[in-house]
Structure 1
Amino acid sequence: MPSYDLHQLPSVTGTIVLNLSPASVSQFLLHHGEDSSLISRRIIPFLRESVLAGSGLIKILLPSSSGFVVQSDILERRMVDCLDVARTQSFLVPAQHVNGYHVNEYMAMEVQQVMSRCFGAVAVQSEDASDQINEELNKRMSLPWLSPSPIPRKRIAIVGGGSLSKLKGFLDAAASLNIALVVLDEPGHWISNDLYADSRENFVSIDMSVTADLPSRFAAALSDYQNTNEERGRIDGLYTLDEHLISYVSQAAALLGLHTSPPDSIALAQNKFRTRQLDVNVYCRLVSSVKDLEQLLAEDGPRLSYPLIVKPSKGWSSEGVWKVANEQELRTRVPMLWQDAFTAWHGHDVVIETYIDGPEVDANLVLVNGELVFFEVNDDFPSPGDYDITDKDRVSTLSKAPVANFVETSNMLPSALPHDEIEALRQKLHQLVLAAGFTNGVLHLEAKLRNSSCRYTESTESDEQMDLKPIGPSKAVDMKPEDVFLIEINPRAPGWQEIEATAHAYGVSYYSLGLLNALADTARVSSLSQPFLGGAQYHLQLLFVSAHKGGVYRYGDICPTVLSQLATNAKDIKARVVKCATLMEDGQDVPDPRTGMVYGNFIAYFLIASRNDRQGAMRLGRIVENTVRVLTDGF
């Protein structure tokens, strides 16, 4: 093949690159007509469309190693948002066996033979970027994407289908992992519609009423399903997207003899008071009635140090979380959590504990047999409730919200904390999840750092905003275990918006890892937990725009309107806002955030990237949020 350019990438990538110029592609298309072969069905359309789109170079990717594909769309997932790449396409099918060859063997083949062996292709915008893309392929494909062992088809029951936006990532991941999905939910759930028959293997109607016998109802329904579907009935794992069902699903999995985290560990993690007992280093009490509250005040009142945090012991989405500055506020906020609207979801147990000042983080980790195979720390920017609610100017400037609750505002990936503080988080949080009894799985933790060398400060620069910055001159900080303050352990992956953020920044998909963990497929969990070499590919802001008031949402799908308006002034807006979604539906009734009920409070989310610095992402984020506020009349 003297007229073609072959490049052997590092062996860990299992990849050899064949460079084709547009002229070479045109010549190939001229001499190789369409037939029923793989070349015609998949490769030729890609080549033709790339040439027509004006690509400067096509990189055909050839396997240099042999094995079974761990995930068929691995190329698209790992090349996400790669600079100077116009198009990427995998030519693999789930669980396919791939035969790899040495460079010299490819050189001895006819071009059509070579093309028939490729596993994917990348269309590059400019030929000048060829070496750069090879380097990116090295960074992104340096993971074991081929398994030495066959990958049999498995079946997972998803209990509680949720919304399309929450489920879609799992549907796509399952298809590429050779996993069939059976969904259990109420009769008439949207995924039971024939329109979605290709997305799931089957749908099982079940009464989802939350009662004590729910785990046994799940187990009985799945046992019946397996008994009546001999060919496609075996259930290999259970999974749920709904936080309030995690404990019930783990109990059902135990009843069926399927892999699960210990139900006792999940119950502990979902009880914030019990979780605090793993690391008691602050004041923390539990109250379940007015009588309990009065007794606490009688016994501890004179010694209470404010501010304090008040929150449901079994809660999620920051619902009912308040910071109280004095006894009067404590007497006001705690009884609010005993309203029927809260107790129906979160029960009567209320935690009262010390408010910890310091940078807050989201820490996501993946465990395999007790070992950390992936760990990331994201900066969780202050919520309105973190500020002094009596300081109206400060609240207006920094939180931009009229209600001092703890709804999410913004995350930044990766964290700006220094290495030693991230390492302290890694060690302490790993220790705590092991103490809670977790050895395998994807976990989402929230924590704060006391005595950090950094804090959130306002910039004096007019074009910058608040960010996490060193308090003073750079100095080594002797971080102690007690400086890591665990807020909560969530026995699940982060919310789907943060799942998307991590997938874009690091190339690691919690959609895939969550499903594989449900199957106890530790080999593939370890393989797919490898981030890009060098870490995150850019600074990424996960921006949440929440409602500032209650009422009925009447502004439609706001994201396309926002992007269209911004595109007139920022030509690269599509490259910088790498993903977004409107999270409210027209006509949706939105609760007043002053009540503390904030579930379903987000109008939209945006993933905003900057390859230069954090402030670049945040500046655009500020513009995006202001645009949403204007277009929704301050909703």
Structure 2
Amino acid sequence: MAVGAFPSERATLAHKPTSSFSSTSASARVQWPLSRPSNLYRPLFGEIISLCELYSIANVVVFPSSSSTQSSYQPYSQQNGAGGAGHGSAPPSPFIEALQNIGLGSPSWSASAISVFTLILPSADGYVTRSDFLKLRLQDFPYKILRTFEPLRPLQKYSAARPSYGPVTSEYDLATLVESAAGVVQWEDLPTSVSFVDLEVYRTRLTEELRDRLHNAPWLSSTPIARKRVALVRGRPNITAGGPVYRAATALGLDLVIVDEEGHWLQADTEENKMHREAFLVTDMTEDAGVVDRIIQSLVNYPLPIHGVFTLSDNFFVAVAQVAEALGLPASPVSAFETSVDKYRSRLLQNVPGQTARVSSVRELESLLSTGSNQQAAFTPRFPLIVKPTKGWSSECVSKVNNLTDLATAVQKATSRHGSAAVIEPFFDGPEMDVNFVLLDGEILFSEIADEPPCDADSNSATVHSTFSPEALTLPSALPAEEQDIAKSTLRDILVNLGFCTGVFHVEARMVNSSFEYRNQDGVVDLVRKHTHSLLDSGAECKLIEINARPPGYRVTVPTRHTYGVDYFAAHMLAAAGDKNRLRLTTRPYSHVLGGNINDSERGAQYWSRLVYIPAPAAGTVQWPSKLAPCEELQRRKPDLADKIVLGVDYCVPGDKVELYTDGARTYVAHLLVVSRESRRDAIRLGEEVQKAFAIDIEAPITIKAEVSDGETDVDPDAEGCE
């Protein structure tokens, strides 16, 4: 089934003029038991279907009453068990009352709409791996969901109902299933103008879509799940970046302890903060020789056992690995982190002799270029080159260099950022990509490749001042399957050889000698096959840019969760807790095949998505003239784009100060996720429309003085662009 077929079907059901439910011919085609038994308040049809090996479902359609008297559509709870006018006395509807008891159904039961419900019934007993499983797997469903009921608590034992398949005419049986279901979904009402044939198509499409989302994703573990406690070193800077982490921990039944500085926003024992974490351990996080011992002491002094420790802050990777090693907690080797955070050492994993060097100053660069001056005398710059800090993130102070004069400028910029050395390396020409992995003992449980379109510094006319700040990200990748396989196998081997065998890893790379290139075709810039490339050509190589031993930042992790149904933050915490069974169970992507393509490289995404970064258009003070946040204002102003935007996150509020650049990288004010079930090209086109339509008012000051920080105490890959 092609997911792209859904929008047109949905439009047909919602707007196409069709025969009403009184049509005799339509009724004859469907053969449903639509007669109204004496015990029914409203006619309904229920059917139990074997969805897959893991689940059965019960689809229930509730029709309007045949009476034209409006009062007869009031629920029984409002009529004290009495039927409406013209009906006489009638018993309550057990099914409708069961729905109302869990907060579903309608307070008015409109006479002009058809209500549709789906009950999710796991096929076997088990223990709940994640309490918000349905919310995760059904996000951005092509048919609108009004409400979802998920009664299960994390880790609890669930006993399967195991009903017989086929039609269900007893409301009492359906009511019992409501009470025993693992979840119930109420879909958006359908108009009564929908024919029986179209309603049958709707039920079929609904079932097929549910199968694509659920058939390979176990909600339950066959064995009991021990409750565990994990410590997050460095809490998130705000609820926007931290919310997905805290909510995932709660849904997984993980008790979360935060280790951070005095004054962090999660420190206070407010009721809201207690929803996000179990405890806050005040710790001096100064990055000195004693920080590891201080973190260890905080964890040892906590009265409850700690089963895992992790961080999402790049400059604490090594320290946290040392903490885990000292306490005997699950973690990759310290040596692996020490290599990954040093961009010179990680570059040497794919060394190009004579083209890679490390310098601490412009003077050392000059010495390096002097023949025979030191052991690196073999270094011979071949332009273009890349210069970047050995310790850095978010494309900060990364420069493309085309001549010796610019080389000195780039080294000065890189060494001034964090007080660290600069690495000089080759510029690898080819499509850039983000390759994300979830590994378990070296096995790839899940991996995806996202394409990063060319940025300013990729241009042939780029200067040393051009930036590598990303402008967008497109999922899934358009690279051919064989090149994606090369990227995954090359980078996976690098990770495992370093010692990174279990966890979530965000790796940036380029595909050199790719058969694809970015080209403008009819106004859309995307990857297409090179004109000069033949099927006999070969030689594609994956070249590592950097390793991040963590999930991608919030801006990318949440779009992946929407596109594939895989939550990197959840996987990261389960790996830290050593919960290998749930790590395997919770990393199953959807089973969609986009555009009918059976290429496994495109399997799993429910749509093509385009993550659009919005850079600050000017320096100054943020204003909201309309009193609406810019993402919300855009969706109200452009309703034709609104239903294509599944995420919109603003970073700034009125009064915030923004600069055009922050530490050598573009300052962002928002990001949006735009999706298409029609084509990748359509997703890119929509993303460009959204980027052009986005408007933020920035009041320019009389003068703006740029300041360059000489260091920072914490690194947040999701750092917002506003001060």
Partner of 1:388: 460
Report the Cα distance in structure 1 between the residues aligned to 2:484 and 2:628, rounded to whole angstroms.
34
Structure 2 equivalent of residue 580 of structure 1: 648
Measure, in 2, the Cα distance between the counterparts of 1:254 and 1:428: 28
Distance 1:234 1:389, change over 3 A: same
Identity among equivalent pairs (%) = 30
Q: 1:165 and 1:569 mapped to 2: Cα distance?
A: 24
In the TM superposition, what are the counterparts of 1:356-371 in structure 2 within 5 Å? 356-371=428-443
TM-score, normalization by structure 2: 0.78
* Correspondence for 2:249: 174
Query: How far 1:569 moved relative to its partner?
Result: 4.1
Q: Which of 467, 484, 504 is matched with 1:442 structurally? A: 504
Partner of 1:399: none
CA distance in structure 2 between the aligned counterparts of 1:357 and 1:279, rounded to whole angstroms: 15
Change (3 A) 1:175 1:292: same
Alignment partners' CA distance in 2, 1:152 and 1:454? 48
Q: What is the CA distance between 1:99 and its match in structure 2?
A: 1.5
Match of 1:122 in 2: 185
More displaced 10-residue stretch of structure 1: 238-247 or 108-117: 108-117
CA positional deviation for 1:197:
1.9
Q: Secondary structure at the match of 1:626?
A: helix
- Partner amino acid for 1:627? A
In structure 2, what is the Cα distance between the partners aligned to 1:426 and 1:557?
A: 46
2:345 is paired with a residue whose SS is helix
Relative to 1, partners in 2 of residues 1:452 and 1:313: Cα closer, same or farther, differing over 3 Å?
same
Looking at structure 1, the residues matched to 349 and 526 of structure 2 have their Cα atoms a distance apart, in angstroms, of 31
Q: Which of structures 1 and 2 has the bigger CA Rg? A: 2
Would you say the 8 A contact 2:401–2:407 is kept in 1? Answer: yes
* Cα distance change on mapping 1:295 and 1:474 into 2, 3 Å: closer
Are the equivalent residues in 1 in contact too, given 2:212–2:590 (CA < 8 A)? yes
Q: Deviations over 1:131-153 (max 9, x none)?
A: 11111111111212210111222
1:113-167 Cα distance to aligned partner (Å, 9 max, x none): 2221111122233444211111111111121221011122211111111221111
CA separation of 1:355 and 1:47: change in aligned 2, threshold 3 A: same
Secondary structure of the residue aligned to 1:305 is coil
Which residue does the alignment assign to 2:616? 547
Which residue of 256, 259, 262 corresponds with 1:187? 262
| Partner AA of 1:377 in structure 2 | I
The separation in 1 between residues aligned to 2:468 and 2:295, in whole angstroms, is: 34
Q: 1:578, 1:608 within 8 Å by CA — same for their partners in 2?
A: yes
Distance in 2 separating the partners of 1:559 and 1:356: 43
Alignment of 1:19-168 (within 5 A): 19-23=60-64, 39=98, 43=102, 45-48=103-106, 56-87=115-146, 88-104=148-164, 110-125=173-188, 126=190, 127=199, 128-142=201-215, 143-162=217-236, 163-168=238-243
CA contact (8 A) 1:378 1:414 kept: yes
1:329 to partner: Cα distance: 0.4
Alpha-carbon separation, structure 2, partners of 1:50 and 1:157: 48
> Cα distance, 1:592 vs. partner?
4.9
Whole-Å separation in 1 of the counterparts to 2:62 and 2:536? 53
Candidates 332, 357, 361, aligned match of 1:261: 332
**Which of 298, 309, 320 is 2:370 aligned to?**
298
Structure with more of its chain in helix, by fraction: 1
1:129 and 1:262 mapped to 2: Cα distance? Answer: 52
Contact 1:367/1:439 (<8 A) preserved: yes
In the TM superposition, 1:207-222 aligns within 5 A as 207-222=284-299
Confirm or deny: 8 A CA contact 1:8 1:103 kept in the other structure: no
Alignment deviations for residues 258-290 of structure 1 (CA, whole Å, 9 cap, x no partner): 111111111111111111122224621111123
Residue pairs, 1:230-249, within 5 angstroms: 233-249=304-320
Distance 2:153 2:541 in 1: 48
For 2:676, the aligned partner's letter is: S
* Alignment partner, residue 488 of structure 1: 546
Q: 8 Å contact 1:174–1:515 — kept in the other structure?
A: yes
Give the whole-Å Cα distance in 2 for the aligned partners of 1:243 and 1:234. Answer: 26
Q: Deviation of residue 590 (structure 1)?
A: 3.6
Shift of 1:474: 7.4
For 1:557 and 1:441, locate their aligned partners in 2 and report how far apart those are by CA, in whole Å.
44
The number of residues matched between the two structures is: 605
* Counterpart Cα distance in 1 of 2:531 and 2:438: 34
Pick aligned residue for 2:630 from 546, 561, 564: 561
Structure 1 residue 615: Cα displacement? 2.6
Alignment match, 2:665: 598
Is 2:392 aligned against 1:309?
no
Distance (whole Å) between structure 1 residues aligned to residue 101 and residue 333 of structure 2 = 45
AA partner of residue 361 (structure 1): M
**Displacement after TM superposition at 1:631 (Å):** 4.0
The residue that corresponds to 2:715 in the other structure is none
1:536 counterpart letter in structure 2: A
Question: So what's the TM-score if we normalise by structure 1?
Answer: 0.88
3-state SS, counterpart of residue 415 of structure 2: coil
Question: 2:514 and 2:108 mapped to 1: Cα distance?
Answer: 50
Greater alpha carbon shift after TM alignment, 354-363 vs 608-617: 608-617
Q: 3-state SS of the aligned residue for 1:439?
A: coil
Structure 2, unmatched stretches of 5+, are: 1-31, 34-43, 66-72, 82-90, 191-198, 372-376, 593-603, 701-720
